[in-house]
């Protein structure tokens, strides 16, 4: 057997072992079922607030993200103590194996995004805006559908970081629950100034375009308007695929930063540097795109 193939075989064996442990954990699958149920119950209804159904589908993924983080955090918590320098398998290789073992969850997140796209088309589209300036056939863009995949990477990285750094297992799961609950309260990030800093980004954004006394027919015909009785006057419900793509870049930056926290000392700086660059680029890109 060539000597160069031994490390690869060891890594593959570790990945298989860790993947079995993670995939046997019932928590992510139970919360995936909850996520699918929550997404499936979102349907356009007469009299709903304009954009309510469009907004409601995106944060439904939060329970599954919590489940991913829990499943990933446990093996990282078991391996909190550094291995001896003379150990046959380095801590970096063990960390890499655990992260690769979590990739099936990312694949499941991609499948979930495909299910969301199918469900929206099966409903005939979602509703945005109000008369005049309304659509009943809105579909999430490709960039928005890619968000659950990027969020799954963040969930893996968050579970790895907290599992590696938190000393008490009893506090680990509550901490993950609180973090994912906070980021799922999407209306906290509804203002244009703070939307780029959101984790679960929910579109459309509401942008004030005129007072309540303005003639809605004076606005561009392709604007999705929300007006009276809104006290802020006429608003435009704005959806941007460019904003969603830059947000995905921001999420990749967050994931890399969290992986830097979970990674052993060797190689940590590179992950933190890459994460910082992606996060800053994602934030700047979003701020440039938002009107």
**Could you tell me if 110 and 10 lie in one domain?**
yes
In what helix (H) or strand (E) does residue 234 lie, and over which residues does it extend? Answer: strand 234-238
CA distance linking residue 132 with residue 112, whole number of Å: 34
State the residue range of the domain holding 229. 205-238
**Could you tell me if 106 and 169 lie in one domain?**
yes
Instruction: Give the number of other CB atoms < 10 A from CB of residue 213.
Output: 8
Instruction: Give the number of other CB atoms < 10 A from CB of residue 198.
Output: 17
**Could you tell me if 172 and 86 lie in one domain?**
yes
For residue range 111-140, list pLDDT tens digits in order. Answer: 999 999 999 999 888 888 777 777 778 889
Q: Which residue has the higher pLDDT, 108 or 170?
A: 108
Asked whether residue 260 is assigned to any structural domain, the reply reads: no
For residue range 165-178, list pLDDT tens digits in order. Answer: 888 888 889 999 99
Instruction: Give the number of other CB atoms < 10 A from CB of residue 139.
Output: 18
CA distance linking residue 222 with residue 143, whole number of Å: 21
**Could you tell me if 29 and 99 lie in one domain?**
yes
* Helix locations, the chain, DSSP H: 5-24, 26-40, 52-57, 62-78, 91-101, 103-123, 142-165, 169-184, 241-262, 268-289
Asked whether residue 287 is assigned to any structural domain, the reply reads: no
Q: What is the pTM of this model?
A: 0.89
CA dihedral 93, 98, 104, 106 (to 10 degrees): -90
Centroid of chain to Cα 101: 19
């Amino acid at each position: 057997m060539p000597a160069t193939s031994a490390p690869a075989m060891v890594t593959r064996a570790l990945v298989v072992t860790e993947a079995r442990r993670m995939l046997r954990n019932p928590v992510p699958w139970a919360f995936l079922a909850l996520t699918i149920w929550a997404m499936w119950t979102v349907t356009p209804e007469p009299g709903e607030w304009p954009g309510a159904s469009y907004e409601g589908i995106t944060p439904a993924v939060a329970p599954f993200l919590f489940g991913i983080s829990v499943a990933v955090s446990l093996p990282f918590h078991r391996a909190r103590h550094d291995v001896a320098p003379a150990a046959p398998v380095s801590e970096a290789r063990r960390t890499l194996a655990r992260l690769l073992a979590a990739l099936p969850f990312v694949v499941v997140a991609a499948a979930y995004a495909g299910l969301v796209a199918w469900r929206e088309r099966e409903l005939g589209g979602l509703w945005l805006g109000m008369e005049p300036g309304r659509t009943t056939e809105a579909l999430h863009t490709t960039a928005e559908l890619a968000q659950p995949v990027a969020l799954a990477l963040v969930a893996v990285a968050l579970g790895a970081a907290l599992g590696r750094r938190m000393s008490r297992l009893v506090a680990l799961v509550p901490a993950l629950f609180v973090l994912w609950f906070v980021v799922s309260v999407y209306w906290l990030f509804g203002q244009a100034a703070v939307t780029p800093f959101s984790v679960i980004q929910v579109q459309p954004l509401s942008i004030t375009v005129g007072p309540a006394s303005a003639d809605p027919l004076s606005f561009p015909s392709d604007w999705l308007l929300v007006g009276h009785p809104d006290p802020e006057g006429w608003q435009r419900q704005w959806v941007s695929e460019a904003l969603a793509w830059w947000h995905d870049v921001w999420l990749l930056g967050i994931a890399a930063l969290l992986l830097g926290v979970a990674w052993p000392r060797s190689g940590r700086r590179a992950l933190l540097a890459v994460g910082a660059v992606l996060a800053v680029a994602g934030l700047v890109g979003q701020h440039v795109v938002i009107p």
